[in-house]
Amino acid sequence: MRVLIACPSYPPQAVTCGVGDYTRCLAEELARQGEQVTVVASAAWRGPARGGVAVLPILDDAAPWWRVVAADVVNLQYAPDLYRHRRRALRATFSTPAVVTVHTLLDATLGSRAAALWLLTSARHVVAANEEVTAMVRRRLRWLARRLTEIPIGSNIAVAAGGDPLATRAALGVPARAPLLAHFGLVYPGKGMETLLEALAMLRRARPEACLVVIGDTRESERAYRAGLEALALRLGVAAAVTWTGRRTDEDVSRILAAADVFVAPFDGGASIRRGSLMAGLAHGLPVVSTSPAAPSAYLRDADNVALVPPRDAAALAARLAALLASSAERARLAQGARKLAARVAWPAIAEETRAVYRRVLV
* pLDDT tens series, the chain, 363 aa: 999 999 999 999 887 788 999 999 999 999 999 999 999 999 999 999 999 999 999 998 888 888 888 999 999 999 998 988 887 787 766 788 999 999 998 876 777 788 888 888 889 999 999 999 999 989 888 888 889 999 999 998 999 988 899 999 999 999 999 999 999 999 999 999 999 999 999 999 999 999 999 999 898 889 999 999 999 999 999 999 999 999 899 999 999 999 999 999 999 999 999 898 999 999 999 999 999 998 889 999 999 999 999 999 999 999 999 999 999 999 999 999 999 999 999 999 999 999 999 999 998
pLDDT of residue 93: 67
pLDDT of residue 6: 95
**In this structure, which amino acid lies at residue 202?**
M
Complete domains list, the chain, with CATH: 2-154+346-362 (3.40.50.2000), 165-344 (3.40.50.2000)
pLDDT of residue 142: 86
C-alpha span between 135 and 254 (Å, rounded): 32
Residues 6+ away with beta carbon under 8 Å from 206: 322
User: What is the DSSP code (8-state) at residue 271?
Assistant: -
**Which pairing describes strands 262-265 and 288-291: parallel, antiparallel, or unpaired?**
parallel
Q: Which helix (H) or strand (E) holds 181?
A: strand 180-184
DSSP H helical ranges for the chain: 18-32, 110-122, 131-140, 165-172, 193-206, 223-236, 250-258, 276-283, 314-325, 328-344, 347-362
Between CA 312 and CA 316, with CA 315 as vertex, the angle to 5 degrees is: 75
Closest by alpha carbon to 267, among 287, 291, 288, 296? 291
Cβ-count burial of 70 within 10 angstroms (0-12 exposed, 13-18 middle, 19+ buried)?
Answer: exposed
